[in-house]
Structure 1
């Protein structure tokens, strides 16, 4: 076992303090990618009993592991999702109970990357991962290339990667693929290609490659089909999908062409509460449009709905934007009341 492995294996998790998510990370988690495809990565699925494989790529060395080999010796990466939860935010409360263990590890160019686990709730794929690095990646490193999902026609998502010690990071990535039809299983590929220090712009290239399959968590679909129109925008709540992990609100937005001539993007932000006093943390899954934003399909997620609740109050705010830091306007729309089946 190398010194790098020993440091990771001997790390006392109790000595690591969870850190608040910064504004930069929050912004990164809200990234939207509309009608854009990430290049496909064709790779075979890793076998559970795979042995270590070493590949020389230029000056970088890549080593891949799968359970039950070296990956099982790193207690550091257990329970990564806990770094992204708090007493006031229960969004990921059920994540660990339904996530699929992945535990694939790759080493390239001085950076060890390991995917702990992942879950597919029928709408969004959530992945937890960790890094250990010999390089200075700063506080908020950027990932070079995002996740791809086989068969998707559009993808939206983002990630949060936070430093927990000078050489170690934990990450949570969310990606919402758009398919032509609902799938019971999804094939996920991820080749990050590089990590960049957000302050110095120093980039470390490497050859980390992951490929795994996820089964959909069973869901219950409630059709809603309630709409509201204001200021040239119509928002339709199509359906609510309830799973044991999360609740997904699927929407369609129709925007008048005159608005899109002035604004680069129109998008909804939801505030959601129920009739027993809960206010839910809302996560934006992004959206996709095939007609340059005139009609856009969006989804946003909250945690599991309180079993006592009989109604949800959805308060949309429409955001018209010229692009990052170029100006925006907000329009608060009327509350949509939805009875819960």
Structure 2
């Protein structure tokens, strides 16, 4: 595949047709990083018992706007997984070549939505999409995409999504859904429906809010990307919190770590929120970037999480996992919402506490995993 410079060299351009663009520092840095990497690779949230996933957004629209007629011909735009790597971790850099081409388009209310690619790793679905409209939908439209899974499962899903403008009335997006029941019981295949019924633009004030309604429905079936699951079941404990590494799944595009935290009664009584994440490096010195998938649990201090990391480096035989816990107190500014008791009664969990709230971090001892060959 040609790199970006080769593709641009093949384009005949009249310089008088260019308009000077105003870009911010993030956009400028993103483009520089992408071009640099292209040259190098020329050949190639939680109240006890509740899990919430969140995502930040980084603008990635410069190239598509600068060369709209050729956007689909440039690899960075063609690979939506890579373009919308919102935390710039590199986790999704190998997803495109392992994904399934869907390329199904639905049109409603003058807006077409195409599901481009989708991939399933046994517990998490990730899909990309393109939106083409006959009117402006804002710079970062909110896509109301409801995902329903065929079959019986008792828990919910966590996830995140992002949608960015890349050209006039043209947008690309990515959505991630992790099915909690499947985290420790991975499936070989999945049938699911995507129902999109609203595209919203919030703007910078309530007066700028606008939405477009329609009916965009998709039925998708996927086989899971084959991977090797290794049961670990090793734990460490510190200050009343136990971190248990349950298993590791290594597949061609990523590593997925499943881990459980158990909070003591003392910890539960003192702290409103206790969240655990994990850092990973290997015996070769490589440090792996990852993104949290959220988790599920109960009101008794037990929570199971999963986190996806970039794929295993060649030659690595060991993984060194370091769990880290963040303990915090809820305040009016950092909490809110509701939870449900065992009888289905709604409980308001908004705190009356003011101020920033007490916070503490705990770093656990390392867990060393000998990888199966």
TM-score bracket, shorter-length normalisation: 0.7 to 0.9
Residue 264 of structure 1 deviates from its aligned partner by: 4.2
1:331 pairs, out of 362, 365, 373, with 362
Q: Could you say which structure has the larger radius of gyration?
A: 2
Q: 2:300, 2:127 → 1: CA distance?
A: 28
Structure 2 distance, partners of 1:93, 1:145, is 24
Q: CA deviation at 1:89?
A: 4.0
- Aligned ranges for residues 290-301 of structure 1 at < 5 Å? 291-292=298-299, 294-301=301-308
Counterpart for residue 191 of structure 2: 187
The Cα RMSD (Å) is 3.3
Give yes or no for the alignment of 1:101 onto 2:101: yes
Distance in 1 of aligned mates of 2:139 and 2:270: 37
Q: Give the equivalent residue in structure 1 for 2:62.
A: none
Q: Distance in 2 between matches of 1:228 and 1:83?
A: 37
Matching of residues 1-341 of structure 1 within 5 Å: 78-85=78-85, 89-151=89-151, 152-153=153-154, 154-179=156-181, 181-199=185-203, 200-289=208-297, 291-292=298-299, 294-321=301-328, 322=330, 325-326=334-335, 327=357, 328-341=359-372
Structure 1 residue matching 2:146: 3-state secondary structure? coil
Taking a change above 3 Å as real, the CA distance of residues 131 and 332 of structure 1, as seen in their structure-2 partners, is same
Matched position secondary structure for 1:244: coil
Query: Please, which moves more after superposition, 317-326 or 246-255?
Result: 317-326
Q: Is the CA contact 2:82–2:90 (under 8 Å) kept in the aligned structure 1?
A: no
Q: 1:337 to 1:178 in 2, by over 3 A?
A: same
CA contact (8 A) 2:247 2:257 kept: yes
**Which is helix-richer, 1 or 2?**
2
Mind listing any 5+ residue stretches in structure 2 that lack a counterpart?
1-10, 31-44, 52-70, 336-356
User: Partners in 2 of 1:251 and 1:183 — Cα distance?
Assistant: 18
State the Cα distance separating 1:135 from its structure 2 match: 4.2
Give per-residue Cα distances to partners, 1:142-195, cap 9 Å, x unaligned.
222432222333211111212212422111111111337442110121112212
Note the C-alpha offset of 1:78: 3.9
Which residue of 2 is the match for residue 43 of structure 1?
A: none
- Gaps of at least 5 residues in structure 1 are 1-11, 22-30, 37-73
CA contact (8 A) 1:225 1:237 kept: yes
- Whole-Å Cα distance in 2 between the matches of residues 265 and 150 of structure 1? 33
**1:84 deviation in Å?**
2.8
Preserved CA contact (<8 Å) 1:136 1:197: no
| TM-score normalised over the length of structure 1 | 0.72
Matches of 2:307 and 2:248 in 1, distance apart?
A: 10
Deviation at 1:336, TM superposition (A): 2.1
Deviation at 1:136, TM superposition (A): 3.7
What is the distance in 2 between the residues matched to 1:134 and 1:260? 53
Cα–Cα, structure 1 residues 104 and 331, in superposed 2: closer, same or farther, change >3 Å? same
8 A Cα contact 2:200 2:210, kept in partner: yes
**Could you tell me how far 1:269 is from its partner in structure 2?**
2.1
Task: Decide whether the 8 Å contact of 1:139 with 1:198 is kept in 2.
Answer: no
